[in-house]
Chains A and B, each alone.
Chain A
Amino acid sequence: MTLTAETDSDASQEAVAERVRKIRERQDVGVSRAEGWRRRGPLLPALIFMIAVTQVPFLFTLYYSTLSWNLVRPGSRKFVGLNNYIDVVQDSQFWSVAGNTVILIVGVVLISALLGLGIALLLDRAFVGRGAVRTLLITPFLITPVAGALVWKTTILDPNNGILNWLLGLVGISPVDWIGQFPLAMVMVELIWQWTPFMMLLILAGLTSMPRDQLEAGRVDGATAVQLFRELTLPHLRRFIELGVVLGAVYLVNTFDAIFMMTQGGPGVASANLPFYIYQRAFLGFDMGQAAAMGVVVVIFTMIIASFALRLIFKSFSGKEEAA
């Protein structure tokens, strides 16, 4: 928005912006109660709904985490306070799995965001069959994750009959046991394949909403494509990229199907992530107290990491609002 100051018509825009700021200041200071409720009103239904539907299960989970309760050993249910949490802290596998989860999330989100950005930029230009390509690109995200994971495991990465090894065989490379040797990397590849379309979609939506006249003005003034991208496009897209990163990360914390279908967390726990590990404790061990405690630990850590990350993002968000 700072660039608008350069052109003629923006003298009047500046005046409007000044008026708006003054109005807002007046409104902010000593907001009447009615005005406050009118502003918050639209938010309330969603907020109340979410509180009702999510907090009750969370409280239950907290309660279960203080129990030692094995579902298949009836009569074993008893209160043990924080014992489950101590067990979790002492469980070295839990922490190595947590490490896997972090690697998985960071890797998948960053790479798919970069790829999504690149592809969105490609699709921003006009060419023959652009809509068709866009449809093709979205399909990985539309396939049920279970099926998507199985496609990769059975047809592409299979060591004996997979397409990848067949292609490598054509150039004389002997077959590689992809899933056995690089389990976490393969899971990440599958997830990147599924999530890049999501990032692309978000960034594309951001690109389509970007005012073109600034770019034209910049081009007329003789700026290079790189400069235009860095100064105009990227800042505008930053909000959407950050959105994609936040949403993708939050969703990927829960990712489960790819690991369940492709590697079963193996070999060992090399490719297990936290949801998969908790699933095994809950549905193989039927140790409900442990699983609940692990869930709460995940929430605590995610909150800590997220509040740091979001603080960074919100700095840029609120900065934008003031400039507007």
Chain B
Amino acid sequence: MKTRKVLHKLTACVAGVGLLLTSGCAGAGSLGASDNEVTIALVSNSQMTDAQKLSSEFEKANPGIKLKFISLSENQARAKITMSTAMGGSQFDVVMISNFETPQWAKDGWLRNLSDYAKSTPGYDENDFIPSLRESLSYEGNMYSVPFYGESSFLMYRKDMFEQAGIKVNQDPNYQPTWQEVAGWAKTLKTDDRAGICLRGKPGWGEVLAPLDTVINTFGGRWFDDQWNAQLNSPQVKEAVNFYVNTIKESGELGASSTGFQECANLFGQGQTAMWYDATSAVSVLEDPKTYPDLVGKIGYLPAPVVEKPNSGWLYTWALGIPKAAKNPDGAWKFISWMTSKDYMKLVGEKLGWARVPPGSRTSTYTQLPEYEAISKSYGPLTLQSITNATPNKPTVEPVPYTGIQFVGIPEFQDLGTRVSQQISAAIAGQQSVDAALEQAQKYAEVVGKSYQEK
């Protein structure tokens, strides 16, 4: 019977593959295993993908060490890495985390002290990391993860569109535009075919809240006062959020409530928005001549807009750490030190192009790499300046009991931030008023604040 013949063939096929795999293996990825393995969990941004591509260079220089990668989107990676590390798992030798987790996990004793390793690695130069980044990844003076790339936030704009509209921008290097100015520009530049400015509106503690928190901070608002009383319905926060939502409504993009980094990048690249306030790392997308050849030389950059507090750009980094229970910490450090070294920057520049050098982690990238300086004239110095001047330890005008600019550095923030962001996203979509959103947000924050007051 044909059915049976086919079924037999199929079974034979699968059994064949099965034999291959079951010869002592846990899966196809474990074929060709060696003793000195390093298992690495990364987030799938382009800079990390580049590192994976270049990892063969590391294996060449370190024969005997086999690298195994898993690369996931940010949400999945964070969830998976958190679960594994919190349960004391030894699945990973190297984990990619950020300046959100590092201080908390260091305090919980989940990460290994990397300063010790760094000191015993000649030429690594821990002090070359941009100081604000270095501090944000340290606990009690020691680094518990090392930055791979860092970012702040700034304002990107189309110089040609500004010229057409007759808007003149102050060229002073110390100039920081105000949000009111930016809102005015956005209104002027808004037409039927394009938005005046693109701002994130997608729900998520790392989505809409990243830019919004910097706006709140610079308007003089804060999440909690120093007694952990929630402040989300305070007049300053209300003013800030109303400003953000109204700017989007008047001059922003359509469909803002589901717009994140990728959507704004696409709009800016297509010329469907005149300005975009977002991460400094957006240059990797926009200044790539292969994807957007028409944009070369047309993009202008300004520091993050301010109101009351200057230097309001955010501070974020993707960094590499070693979980306490890692099976191969020495191999892990070898890889980490390779991937975050000065030589690695040169390697990326030579092999993949100078535009792809991981930005914003080491000062030497901006001062000692002439090729990089040459291509990054329009955004490089501003990026370095934004990151250096970011103040995660004093993010707001009034004192606060937490650290973090675009996030609140407490473990509850992932949940609290997401819930609040959902309310705000609903306000952006016009489903509810900003006041109603902030009332609800205030309630959520009060619950968290109370648990800190009781400590």
The residues of A with any CB-CB pair to B shorter than 8 Å are 70-74, 153, 158-161, 175, 177-181, 262-270, 280-281, 283-287
Contact = CB atoms under 8 A, between A and B. Distances in A.
B411 A180 contact: no
A266 B425 contact: yes
Given A72-B82, A267-B422, A160 B267 contact: yes
Contact of B255 (A72, A179, A270, A281): A179
Contact of B415 (A74, A161, A280): A280
B249 to A, nearest CB: 12
Contact of A175 (B254, B423, B425): B254
A284 B414 contact: yes
A267 B418 contact: no
B145 interface: no
Contact of B432 (A268, A281, A286): A268
A177 B258 CA distance: 9
Given A160-B255, A181-B429, 20 more contacts: A70-B411, A71-B83, A71-B87, A72-B411, A158-B255, A159-B253, A160-B253, A160-B263, A161-B266, A179-B258, A180-B430, A264-B422, A266-B422, A266-B429, A267-B429, A268-B426, A280-B415, A283-B79, A285-B415, A286-B411
Contacts of B257: 177, 179-180, 266-267
A179 B263 CA distance: 13
Given A161-B266, A265-B203, A285 B412 contact: yes
Given A267-B428, A267-B429, A270-B431, A159 B104 contact: no
A70 B82 CA distance: 12
Contacts of A160: 253-255, 263, 267, 272
The 8 closest A-B pairs by CB, nearest first: A159-B255, A285-B415, A268-B426, A267-B426, A266-B203, A267-B429, A72-B411, A283-B79
A263 B258 contact: yes
B86 A72 contact: yes
B440 to A, nearest CB: 9
Given A160-B272, A285-B415, A180 B104 contact: no
A286 B256 contact: no
A260 B423 CA distance: 17
A158 B260 CA distance: 12
Nearest to A283: B79
A268 B422 contact: yes
29 contacts: A72-B108, A73-B411, A74-B108, A158-B255, A160-B254, A175-B254, A177-B254, A177-B429, A179-B255, A180-B428, A181-B429, A263-B258, A264-B207, A264-B258, A264-B422, A266-B257, A266-B425, A267-B427, A267-B429, A268-B423, A281-B415, A283-B83, A284-B205, A284-B414, A284-B418, A285-B412, A285-B415, A286-B86, A286-B414
B255 A180 contact: yes
Nearest to B255: A159
Interface string B265-297: 011001010000000000000000000000000
B202 interface: yes
A180 B256 contact: yes
A185 to B, nearest CB: 14
A287 B422 contact: no
Interface in B68-112: 75, 79, 82-83, 86-87, 104, 108
B204 interface: yes
A268 B254 contact: no
A270 B415 contact: no
Interface residues of B, number: 39
Contacts of B87: 71
Contacts of A266: 202-203, 257-258, 422, 425-426, 429
A159 B195 CA distance: 12
A209 to B, nearest CB: 15
A265 B258 CA distance: 10
A73 B272 CA distance: 44
Contacts of B418: 280, 284
A264 B206 CA distance: 12
Interface string B399-436: 00000000000011011001000110111111110000
A270 B254 contact: no
B13 to A, nearest CB: 19
Contacts of A180: 255-258, 428-430
Interface in B44-86: 75, 79, 82-83, 86
Contacts of A265: 203, 422
A179 B203 CA distance: 13
Chain A CB within 10 A, most for which of B104, B428, B431? B431
A156 to B, nearest CB: 13
Contact of B203 (A264, A281, A283): A264
B258 to A, nearest CB: 5
B431 to A, nearest CB: 5
Contacts of B82: 71-72, 283, 286
A193 B187 CA distance: 40
Chain B CB within 10 A, most for which of A73, A178, A264, A287? A264
B422 A269 contact: yes
A158 B423 CA distance: 22
Nearest to A146: B73
B43 to A, nearest CB: 15
Contacts of A175: 254
Contact of B270 (A161, A269, A284): A161
Chain A CB within 10 A, most for which of B257, B258, B431? B258
Contacts of A283: 75, 79, 82-83
A203 B116 CA distance: 66
A161 B104 CA distance: 41
Nearest to A264: B203
B414 A153 contact: no
B415 A153 contact: no
A161 B108 CA distance: 46
A56 B82 CA distance: 24
Nearest to A260: B75
A201 to B, nearest CB: 18
Nearest to B198: A160
A72 B410 CA distance: 10
A287 B86 CA distance: 12
A3 B75 CA distance: 59
A269 B418 CA distance: 11
